[in-house]
Amino acid sequence: MKKRTLITAAAIAALGASSLVSTQAMAAQEQFFPMLVYRTGAYAPNGIPFANGMHDYYKLVNARGGINGVKLVVEECETGYATDRGVECYDRLKGKNGGATVFQPLSTGITFALTEKAPGDKIPLITSGYGRSESADGGVFKWNFPLAGTYWTGADVLVQHVAKTLGGMDKLKGKRIALVYHDSPYGKEPIPLLQERSAELGFKLDLLPVSHPGVEQKATWLQVRRNRPDYVFLWGWGVMNSTSIKEAVATGYPREKIYGVWWSGAEPDVKDVGAGAKGYQALAMQHSTGFDAPVVKEILQKVHGKGQGTGPKDEVGQVLYMRGLIAGMFAVEGVRAAQERFGKGKHVTGAQARWGYENLNLTQPKLDALGFKGVVRPLSTSCQDHMGSSHARIQTWDGKTWKITSDWYEADESVLKPMVKAAADKYAASKKLQRRTPADCQS
Amino acid sequence: MFYRENGQFKTSYQSDQQIFPITQDRLGVLAIIAFAFIGVPMIFDEYMMRAILIPFLILSLAALGVNILVGYCGQISLGSGAFMAVGAYAAYNTFVRIDGMPLIVALLSGGFFATLVGIVFGIPSLRVRGLYLSVATLAAQFFCDWAFLRIKWFTGDTASGSVAVSNLQVFGLPVETPVQKYIFCLAVLVVFGLLAKNLVRSAIGREWMAIRDMDVAASVIGIQPMYAKLSAFAVSSFIVGVAGALWGFVHLGSWEPAAFGVERSFQLLFMVILGGMGSIMGSFFGAAFIVILPIFLNQFLPAVGGLVGLEISTAAVSHAEFMIFGALIVWFLIVEPHGLARLWSVGKQKLRIWPFPH
A303 plus A429 within the same structural domain: yes
The count of CB pairs under 8 A between chains A and B is 102
Tell me if chain A has a CB within 8 Å of the CB of B175. no
Distance of CA B352 to the CA centre of its chain: 29
Q: Are residues A190 and A276 in the same domain?
A: yes
Distance CA B34, CA A109 (A): 37
Interface of A with B in 305-364 (CB under 8 A): none
Q: Does B149 touch chain A (CB under 8 A)?
A: yes
H/E stretch holding B163 = strand B163-164
Contact of B206 with chain A, judged by CB distance below 8 Å, is answered with no
Give the chain B residue nearest A191 (alpha carbons): B159
Domain assignment present for B298: no
Same domain for A247 and A270, yes or no, is: yes
The Cα-based distances of A203 to A198, A255, B28 in angstroms read 5, 20, 69
Q: Is A406 helix (H, G, I), strand (E, B) or coil?
A: coil
Is residue A59 within 8 A of residue A310, CB to CB? The reply is yes
Q: Are residues A146 and A158 in the same domain?
A: no
Judged by a CB distance cut-off of 8 A, whether residue B167 touches chain A is yes
* Interface mutation vs chain A, best among B50, B58, B95, B160, most A CBs within 10 Å: B160
- Residue B317's pLDDT is 85
Alpha carbon separation from B357 to B2, B4, B23, B24 (Å, rounded) = 14, 13, 22, 20
pLDDT of residue B306: 82
- For chain B, the domain total comes to 1
d(CA A410, CA A391): 5
Q: Do residues A269 and A314 both lie within one domain? A: no
Within 13 A of B136's CA, how many CA atoms are on the CB side? 18
Q: Do A230 and A129 fall within a single domain?
A: no
Residue A90 domain-assigned (yes or no): yes
ipTM value for the complex: 0.82
Q: Are residues A383 and A311 in the same domain?
A: yes
Residues A111 and A259 in one domain: no
Residue A370 lies in a domain: yes
pLDDT in tens, A156-211: 999 999 999 999 888 999 999 999 999 888 888 899 999 999 999 999 999 999 98
Note down the domain range covering A180.
Answer: 152-288+394-414
pLDDT at A122: 92
3-state secondary structure of A206: strand
- Note if the bond before A49 is cis, omega within 30 degrees: no
Has residue A16 been placed in a domain? no
Residue A87 contacts B, CB cutoff 8 Å: yes
The verdict on a CB contact (< 8 Å) between A185 and B55 is no
Please tell me whether residues A165 and A299 are part of one structural domain. Answer: no
Q: Which member of A80, A92, A184 has the closest CB to residue B256?
A: A184
Cβ <8 Å between B255 and A113: yes
* B315 interface with A at CB cutoff 8 Å: yes
Q: Which of A39, A33, A34, A37 is nearest to A106 (CA)?
A: A37
Q: Residue B39's domain spans which residues?
A: 22-260
Each of the 358 residues of chain B gets a pLDDT tens digit; together they read: 667 777 788 888 888 888 888 888 889 999 999 999 999 999 988 888 888 999 999 999 999 999 999 999 999 999 999 999 999 999 999 998 888 889 999 999 999 999 999 999 999 888 888 888 988 899 999 999 889 988 888 888 776 778 888 788 888 888 888 899 999 999 999 999 999 999 999 999 999 999 999 989 999 999 999 999 999 999 999 999 999 999 999 998 888 888 898 989 999 999 999 999 999 999 999 999 999 888 888 888 888 888 887 777 888 888 888 898 889 888 888 888 888 899 888 888 888 887 777 6
Q: How far is CA A308 from CA A223, A379, B348, in A?
A: 48, 30, 54
Subunit contact B149:A132, Cβ cutoff 8 A: no
By Cβ distance, the residue of A14, A40, A95 closest to B319 is A40
Q: What is the DSSP string of A220-270?
A: HHHHHHHH--SEEEEE--THHHHHHHHHHHHHT--GGGEEE-GGG-SHHHH
Q: Does B339 fall in a domain?
A: no
Contact (Cβ atoms closer than 8 angstroms) between residue B294 and residue B301:
no
Instruction: For residues A176 and A241, state if they share a domain.
Output: yes
Parallel/antiparallel/unpaired status of strands B163-164 and B254-255: antiparallel
The conformation of residue A159, written as its DSSP 8-state character, comes to: H
- B202 touching chain A per CB within 8 A: no
SS3 content of chain A, % helix, strand, coil (to 5): 50, 15, 35
The CATH number assigned to the domain holding A314 equals: 3.40.50.2300
Residues A427 and A320 in one domain: yes
Q: Is residue A17 part of a domain?
A: no
CB B241 within 8 A of CB B90: yes
**Is the residue at A6 inside a domain?**
no
Indicate whether A163 and A190 sit together in one domain: yes
Cα-based torsion angle of the residue sequence A147, A151, A153, A158 in order, rounded to the nearest 10 degrees: 130
| Domains identified in chain A, total number | 2
Say which amino acid occupies A279. G
Are B318 and A40 inside 8 Å of each other by CB? Answer: yes
Would B315 be classed as within a structural domain? no
Residue B358 confidence (pLDDT): 67
Positive or negative torsion for Cα A410, A413, A418, A422: positive
Q: Give the other-Cβ count within 10 Å of B229's Cβ.
A: 26
